[in-house]
Amino acid sequence: MAEKTYVEDIDRSMYDFRYEEKDAYRIEEGLDPAIVEQISKEKNDPRWMHDFRMKSLEIYNHIQMPDWGPSIEGLDMAHIATYVRPNTKMANDWDSVPEEIKDTFERLGIPQAERKSLAGVGAQYDSELVYHNVQDFAEKLGVVYSDIESALRGPYADMIRDHFMKLVPPTDHKFAALHGAVWSGGSFVYVPEGVHLEIPLQSYFRLNAKGAGQFEHTLIIVEDNAYLHFIEGCSAPKYNVANLHAGCVELFVGKNSTLRYSTIENWSKNMYNLNTKRALVKEGGKIEWVSGSFGSHVSYLYPMSVLAGRGASSEFTGVTFAGKGQNLDTGCKVVHNAPDTTSVVNTRSISKSGGISTFRSAVVINPQAKNSKSSTSCQSLMLDSESRSDTIPAMDVKTQQADVGHEAKIGRISDDAVFYLMSRGLPEDDARALIVSGFADNVGKELPLEYAVEMNNLIRLEMKGTNG
């Protein structure tokens, strides 16, 4: 049953195209260069970016759709143009935002002022003020935190050019190519050598920037001996009428630096979240991923760490909650390319009410990664028999001098635990919700308090069943 998105009525013939070749596949799913040209023009791209977009488009039109993961047939690929057309997207008014989205805002206690922007119906809201305060603080330390589009023409233009989509090239997969062609908006962060930024930077502040976050590109460069904590997303559902999110996050971690990248993703339940996140870690550097995936209809999300320098390390802590109507394929990838590197993966996943959760991972230890260690622990909780939980981890070890360990467990909520909590006065629903919160604690305890509280609220909401 394919879902159709709501889009403005347009004369679609403008976007029909003809190709000489008889490749029917391309004709159906291709994207017209004219659209990309228009995007580039509107954004006033420097020449190289314009060329980059066009090249990405070509790649996009040639790559196959993935067939190993959840079905994305609900995405109207035949009219992909309508997702990317500049100034499309937003529902025109608050009234057309689905009830259940408004309902969730209510239950999560989201302030009125924020609701409209979260629903993509425009109107800036006061986070602007907070955002500017953070900016000032960061600026004093030499940290750059700005929107990426304007940074393309500022003093960091060359730096951005040297890094943009080098870590996630358009050839990586179809949606990386799409991103390369139509990306729009996003953050650019630069932390100079030796700087430790004590307060976390949050992308939430920039939620209402143009582009509505659909094809957002986040580029973070942390120089040597520095520290940054970046928080992306928020627990409130982000609703968008055009239901494709093909974002890209590229993180460069310098020598002996640490970058903590936390995400709570709660895209609304009509969204296809095809995100690509990758970190390149230099000698002695460390990337810490903290990831809570709660929303979207379909997700493909595997933050990837490339440990490129001696002693580099990666830590991934994640929780995925797949409820009714959701098919979340999440996990992580680590590639060890240097000696003495370490990776630790700790994930929890919960499936409920027919939701499908798949943990998919890859740990690759290349021959030069002598004395590397990797350990993965993934636990899955099945809350009923309509749901599904799959664990598909892969390990490829190409050197003897490595220690690779892996364990996975799947099970259900213990009746004894529920009984115990109920005997202390908790109603059954609350008992179960508490147990699941406890199960998701691996992520909860890594998040700043307000996010952890929001995450637990989300869990409670999902568990109580009223969120369907």
Question: Whose CA is closest to 201, among 212, 214, 190?
Answer: 190
Binding to another protein, residues 341-380 (CB under 8 A): 360, 362, 364, 367, 380
Quote the least distance from Cβ 240 to another protein, whole Å.
28
Question: Whose CA is closest to 435, among 452, 462, 413?
Answer: 413
Among 396, 428, 429, 450, binds another protein (CB under 8 A): 396
Q: Which stretch binds another protein (CB under 8 A): 121-129, 237-245, 276-284, 403-411?
A: 403-411
Closer Cβ to another protein, 31 or 397, answer by number: 397
How far is residue 227's CA from residue 141's CA, in Å, rounded to a whole number? 12
Among 402, 435, 459, 463, binds another protein (CB under 8 A): 402
Q: Which stretch binds another protein (CB under 8 A): 120-128, 225-233, 277-285, 382-390?
A: 382-390
Quote the least distance from Cβ 401 to another protein, whole Å.
6
Binding to another protein, residues 43-82 (CB under 8 A): 68
How far is residue 385's CA from residue 412's CA, in Å, rounded to a whole number? 10
How far is residue 63's CA from residue 75's CA, in Å, rounded to a whole number? 17
How far is residue 44's CA from residue 442's CA, in Å, rounded to a whole number? 44
Closer Cβ to another protein, 157 or 392, answer by number: 392
Closer Cβ to another protein, 346 or 399, answer by number: 399
Question: Whose CA is closest to 185, among 153, 217, 151, 162?
Answer: 217
Quote the least distance from Cβ 378 to another protein, whole Å.
9
The amino acid sitting at 219 is: L
Residue that has been written with the tokens 């750059």 in this structure: 144
Quote the least distance from Cβ 262 to another protein, whole Å.
25
Q: Evaluate whether 145 touches 187 at the Cβ level (below 8 Å).
A: yes
**Contact residues for 49 (Cβ-Cβ < 8 A; gap 6+):** 40, 152, 164
Quote the least distance from Cβ 190 to another protein, whole Å.
31
Closer Cβ to another protein, 86 or 325, answer by number: 325
Q: Evaluate whether 334 touches 365 at the Cβ level (below 8 Å).
A: no
Quote the least distance from Cβ 412 to another protein, whole Å.
5
Tell me: does residue 390 bind another protein (CB under 8 A): yes
Residue that has been written with the tokens 């969730």 in this structure: 104
Quote the least distance from Cβ 382 to another protein, whole Å.
5
**Applying CB under 8 A, what is the total number of residues that bind another protein?**
36
Among 30, 309, 393, 444, binds another protein (CB under 8 A): 393
Q: Is 341 exposed, middle or buried (0-12, 13-18, 19+ CB in 10 A)?
A: buried
Interaction pattern, residues 408-437, with another protein; x per rule: CB under 8 A: xxxxx-------------------------
Tell me: does residue 387 bind another protein (CB under 8 A): yes
Strand partners, 264: 233, 292
Among 162, 384, 428, 450, binds another protein (CB under 8 A): 384
Among 108, 141, 392, 417, binds another protein (CB under 8 A): 392
Q: Rounded to whole angstroms, what are the CA distances from 433 to 26, 280, 440? A: 47, 37, 10
Cα 257–406–372 angle (5° rounding)?
40
Quote the least distance from Cβ 44 to another protein, whole Å.
36
Question: Whose CA is closest to 398, among 354, 341, 337, 351?
Answer: 337
Question: Whose CA is closest to 264, among 291, 296, 239?
Answer: 291
Residues in contact with another protein by CB under 8 A are 68, 360, 362, 364, 367, 380, 382-385, 387-412
